[in-house]
């Protein structure tokens, strides 16, 4: 099948292109190569390449000719610097998605796999010993300043135990990027209903692996740590390092996209379905920093106590729905993936 991969020259997109090629598909890389993500001309995947922006309807319609599906990876990612970035996030992520979906409707392309994100949940799942599952609100700045990082039960103030988040959890995006990722899902669902198409949103958790961009505010925490080590500096771990994440290897994420493409014509969850795409094995940020520093050969991480507003404390995935419905399961173990990542080259730094 001919598959258009928006953002196909990027970190995750390039791995998806490689997986598509290996599986016998015909990927088409569609990427604007914007300087914020590609300050230097990147090494392009071995596939047909179209240089274009997802906000360019004419270029999209041309690139979509003959396509049976789209893997939509193009996006402006990360927390950004301040709220002044909001128009750019909305333009790239939401307006761009709307233009893409409109072009797909005109071309009769009826299947979409959208790169979603776990950030749509806000905080993860918490269990209070007295009140059961409790949804915490945003953490108080005074608590963060005092080093009190764990959300407490809003009903009794007790400490809560974090758990795995399912796709049925309430959404609670807490920054501009998260809001745009949720809007992308809503647009995809609206497109599917209006056109009779099928859309799958893969809510990626903390993706890491070879080819991550270095030294950029738009990359994940694993990239920050790896970049610091390459400079000979100790990774700086925010808060107390005990915040939990689900680190999932980029090749497993690429295979999740292939599994989603295999669902063409099937509708296990209706015309639009969201799936968590995580390893299912939580690790703390401190554990990632320590494992990466050990594999790299030091220096060992420093826990700073600093924090970023908009960060959440714990967010880890229950990916059993993706395993059950689409037959996907991650195969890269955390220890093996970290060792590989410690020695893998990083992409050129993004422009700031």
Q: Decide if 218 is catalytic.
A: no
> What's the CA gap between 311 and 327, in Å, rounded?
32
> What's the CA gap between 23 and 258, in Å, rounded?
8
> What's the CA gap between 274 and 123, in Å, rounded?
18
Cross-strand partners of 133: 127
3-class secondary-structure state, position 186: helix
Phi, psi of 241 (to 5 degrees): 80, 0
- Of 258, 328, 346, 322, give the one whose Cα is nearest residue 16: 258
Cross-strand partners of 268: 270
Cis before 313? omega within 30? no
Q: Among the options 30, 121, 177, 204, which is catalytic? A: 177
Query: What would the two tokens of residue 83 be?
Result: 């709220």
CB atoms within 10 A of CB 140: 12
> What's the CA gap between 229 and 7, in Å, rounded?
28
> What's the CA gap between 80 and 262, in Å, rounded?
34
Indicate the DSSP class of residue 213.
B
Phi, psi of 39 (to 5 degrees): -65, -25
> What's the CA gap between 271 and 192, in Å, rounded?
6
Give the residue numbers marked as catalytic: 177
């Amino acid at each position: 099948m001919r598959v258009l991969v928006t953002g196909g020259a990027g970190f995750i997109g390039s791995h998806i292109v490689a997986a598509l090629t290996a599986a016998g598909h015909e990927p088409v890389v569609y990427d604007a190569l914007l300087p914020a993500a590609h300050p230097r001309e990147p090494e392009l995947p071995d596939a047909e390449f179209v240089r274009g922006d997802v906000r360019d309807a004419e270029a999209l319609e041309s690139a979509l000719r003959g396509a049976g599906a789209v893997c939509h990876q193009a996006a402006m990612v990360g927390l950004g610097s301040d709220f002044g970035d909001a128009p750019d996030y909305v333009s790239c992520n939401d307006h761009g998605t709307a233009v893409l979906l409109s072009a797909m409707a005109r071309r009769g392309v009826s299947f979409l796999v959208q790169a979603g994100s776990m950030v749509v949940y806000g905080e993860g799942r918490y269990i209070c010993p007295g009140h059961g599952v409790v949804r915490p609100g945003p953490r108080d700045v005074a608590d963060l300043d005092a080093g009190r990082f764990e959300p407490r039960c809003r009903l009794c103030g007790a400490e809560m135990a974090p758990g795995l988040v399912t796709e049925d959890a309430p959404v609670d995006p807490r920054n501009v990027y998260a809001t745009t990722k949720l809007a992308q899902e809503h647009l995809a669902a609206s497109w599917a209903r209006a056109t009779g198409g099928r859309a799958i949103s893969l809510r990626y958790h903390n993706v890491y692996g070879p080819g991550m961009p270095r030294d950029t505010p738009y990359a994940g925490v694993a990239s920050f740590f790896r970049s610091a080590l390459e400079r000979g500096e100790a990774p700086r771990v925010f808060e107390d390092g005990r915040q939990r994440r689900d680190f999932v290897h980029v090749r497993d994420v690429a295979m999740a996209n292939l599994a989603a493409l295999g669902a063409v014509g099937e509708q296990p969850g209706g015309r639009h379905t969201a799936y968590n795409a995580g390893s299912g094995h939580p690790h703390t940020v401190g554990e990632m920093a320590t494992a990466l520093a050990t594999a790299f050969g030091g220096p060992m991480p420093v826990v700073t106590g600093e924090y970023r507003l908009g960060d959440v404390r714990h967010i880890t995935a229950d990916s059993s729905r993706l395993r059950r419905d689409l037959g996907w399961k991650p195969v890269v173990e955390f220890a093996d993936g970290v060792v590989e990542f410690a020695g893998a080259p990083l992409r050129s730094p993004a422009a700031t």
